[in-house]
């Protein structure tokens, strides 16, 4: 199998599901988490239980967020993101599942209703008690003004970036929808993901077992390569436009 086969599958399909991980965003200059130079190589991971139970943990978590936010805020979509937008324009893309928290799919022009953010969004902060949300910039302004672990101004609950931390429950509605569209698709296009983080990594297998073609585009090998119909180890910004 080669690139031409994948082009043919995509050309003939009217039900494609996209799935993206950190690899598509690193090409926009956003550091990933797990690489030797990634976020967790430079910072201590604050898991959800520590965030909830420890003010010191919350202060460190927010310090890391303030440090990383400018790069994420200022990042621009790359040709990989735009390729998925083109699939939507042609009426082929039924859902855009992402493990990323940067909002680059929406900034590229993807319809928000198609995007399923499995790990949340860093553009907002959410109260863990009343579920109210504010723009992340508002929370960061409070931190920079001297409040290192801001709380909800409505109910006094803990404010946390609206992302999913280790130890925090996955969003049920998003996971259910992602599983549903994966079972129904004709082509599942997994891009820039190591496919090791569960339960998100189950989705390509769900699609394949339901009869979809599975295409994996990633710079390194993944545990699902043997299951895939085609694996392309290359730069996403070059391969995806060629596929579309």
Q: Report, as residue numbers or ranges, the catalytic residues.
A: 119
Cis preceding linkage at 199, omega within 30: yes
Distance CA 6, CA 228 (A): 11
Q: Which of 240, 184, 176, 191 is nearest to 212 (CA)?
A: 184
Tokens read off for 210 = 């339901």
For residue 190, the cross-strand partners are 19, 216
Distance CA 93, CA 16 (A): 5
Residue 156 burial class via C-beta count within 10 angstroms: exposed 0-12, middle 13-18, buried 19 and up: exposed
Residue 12 burial class via C-beta count within 10 angstroms: exposed 0-12, middle 13-18, buried 19 and up: exposed
Q: Tokens 């790069």 map to which residue?
A: 71
């Amino acid at each position: 199998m080669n690139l031409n086969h994948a082009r043919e599958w995509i050309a003939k399909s009217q039900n494609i599901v996209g799935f993206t991980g950190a690899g598509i965003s690193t090409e926009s200059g956003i550091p990933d988490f797990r690489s030797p130079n990634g976020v967790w190589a430079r910072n201590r991971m604050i898991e959800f239980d520590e965030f909830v139970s420890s003010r010191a943990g919350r202060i460190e978590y927010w310090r890391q967020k303030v440090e990383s936010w400018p790069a994420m805020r200022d990042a621009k979509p790359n040709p990989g993101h735009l390729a998925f937008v083109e699939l939507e324009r042609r009426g082929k893309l039924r859902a855009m599942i992402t493990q990323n928290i940067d909002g680059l799919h929406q900034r590229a022009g993807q319809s928000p209703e198609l995007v399923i953010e499995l790990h949340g969004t860093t553009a907002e902060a959410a109260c863990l008690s009343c579920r109210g949300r504010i723009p992340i910039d508002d929370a960061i302004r409070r931190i920079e003004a001297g409040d290192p672990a801001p709380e909800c101004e409505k109910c006094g609950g803990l404010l946390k970036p609206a992302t999913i931390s280790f130890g925090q429950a996955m969003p049920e509605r998003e996971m259910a929808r992602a599983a549903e569209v994966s079972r129904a698709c004709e082509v599942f296009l997994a891009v820039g993901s190591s496919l090791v983080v569960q339960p998100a990594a189950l989705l390509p297998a769900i699609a394949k077992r339901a009869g979809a073609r599975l295409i994996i585009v990633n710079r390194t090998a993944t545990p699902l390569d043997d299951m895939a119909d085609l694996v392309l180890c290359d730069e996403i910004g070059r391969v995806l436009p060629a596929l579309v």
